[in-house]
Amino acid sequence: MMLETVIALVFAHVLADFMAQTRAMIAAKRQPPVFALHIACVAIFSGLALGARSLDAAAAIVLVVVSHAVCDALKIHPRVDARAAAMPFGALQLFALDQIAHLVFIGLAALLWPGAFAHGFWPALLTPEHVRGLLIGFVFGGGFWLATRVGDLMLALLMAGFHRAYRASDGDDDSPQMPGAGAWIGWLERTLVFLFVLLGQFNAIGFVIAAKSILRFQYAREPRISEIVIIGTLASFGWAIIVALLTHAAFIGLQTTGR
């Protein structure tokens, strides 16, 4: 039951934070009406995803909504925003911490009220097969949007951080390399190899090596551009693989629980 509640709440979070929340809303989030609208979306989507009709579901929604409001209020606080803006990767770190905090509270809500989804109106209105199909839709839809839209946002923040780090290093446009880029490439490459070994996809390791070599060769005369392209490519692959693994694990979990 807990897994079903987690899936529903995570799907609602993806809808509220990355589908219903437009760029204009993000830019105007310090305005109370816009902030309130976003939090209302979190509440509405959470209620719909859970099929809320029990006290457990209401309690879970209250925890998720209140924690979401607090996290977002802290994120847009002028001091926090200024501190993040002062660091090359501050925006990425703030985004990651904010999303981790949301997921922690979603996990806590599911842990405290695991039957929030099972006691909702979806299992009452639909057959077990249709409920399972609904949950599979939640998993697939949420996983797809996390892999694509959220991956795009994180990659943009990562690349912006590298550009800022390069400009802040010495301001020398003739510098052939970006500071710390080699370490990032190494970490990303080893992470991908580690994941591919776990999955038994040894051919994919050769693909990573070939892609890196081709990109290096293509931009051999422009090391900084080469590093940017390689980091972006590996980070994009890595994020998609991680989300795919989590999505696959959710599918397996649903099969195990009988949904």
> What gap in Å lies between CA 150 and CA 161, rounded to an integer?
17
- Residue 81 pLDDT: 85
> What gap in Å lies between CA 110 and CA 178, rounded to an integer?
43
C-alpha closest to that of 239 among 194, 193, 188, 199 = 188
The C-alpha angle with vertex 62 and arms to 60 and 68, in degrees rounded to 5, equals 100
- Residue 14 pLDDT: 97
- Residue 162 pLDDT: 78
- Residue 72 pLDDT: 95
- Residue 2 pLDDT: 92
pLDDT along the chain (259 residues), means of 10: 94 95 88 96 97 94 98 92 85 94 97 95 94 96 93 88 70 53 72 78 76 65 71 83 89 81
- Residue 112 pLDDT: 96
Cβ neighbours of residue 17 under 8 Å, at least 6 residues apart?
A: 42, 99, 102
| Residue 146: DSSP 8-state | I
> What gap in Å lies between CA 58 and CA 137, rounded to an integer?
23
Q: Are 254 and 3 in contact (CB under 8 A)?
A: yes
